[in-house]
Amino acid sequence: MPEQLNTRVEDCYQLAESFFKRSFKRPVVSLKLRGQKAGVAHLHENLLRFNPQLYRENTEHFLKQTVAHEVAHLIAHQLFGDRIQPHGEEWQLIMRGVYELPPDRCHTYEIKRRSVTRYIYKCPCPDSDFPFTAQRHGLVGKGRRYFCRRCRTTLVFSGEMRVE
């Protein structure tokens, strides 16, 4: 666990404790998040998960904004309970009042999309390309059948593959 990340989480908690004049239970912090999300707050588990790739590629902004964003979710939950909106006025109060940051709902980090192979299936209909995922293509290999909605014939693998 990068030390800067833990330090920033702790700093956010200390700011909240000073602002609200009460203590808050510290969360478990994990770098086990992949995909498009920069961070996730699991309210009932008191767990913060962060995306290590986005952290590495956007360290300064990530530490300032993303960490505070996720900590604010846990603080709002501990203060106001389950019946608040995730990015509602309580959360926004914490972002503006405690952390003096804009209550941005989403990050703007560039995300590298991995390429995906599609397996092209066809039927007798004109212009009938059905791009299947590797998972669906594998199911066909195990005997699953898929049908065209127009002509109702079984879709057949054309031998073509496309990388997207």
Is 73 annotated to bind ligand? yes
Q: Which helix (H) or strand (E) holds 121?
A: strand 117-122
Rounded Cα gap, residues 100 and 113, in angstroms: 32
* 45 carries an active-site annotation: no
Q: Which residues pair with 50 in a beta bridge?
A: 39
Q: Which long-range contacts (CB under 8 A, 24 or more apart) does 56-62 make?
A: 57/109, 57/110, 58/107, 58/109, 59/4, 61/109, 62/38, 62/109
Q: Residue 46 has which token pair?
A: 């008191």
* Contact between residue 152 and residue 104 where contact means Cβ atoms under 8 Å apart: no
DSSP E strand boundaries for 2-95:
28-30, 39-42, 47-50
From the candidates 3, 45, 60, 70, which is the catalytic residue? 70
- Ligand-binding site membership of 44 (annotated): no
User: Any idea which residues carry the catalytic annotation?
Assistant: 70
Residue stretches of the annotated binding site: 69, 73
Residue stretches of the annotated binding site for Zn(2+): 69, 73
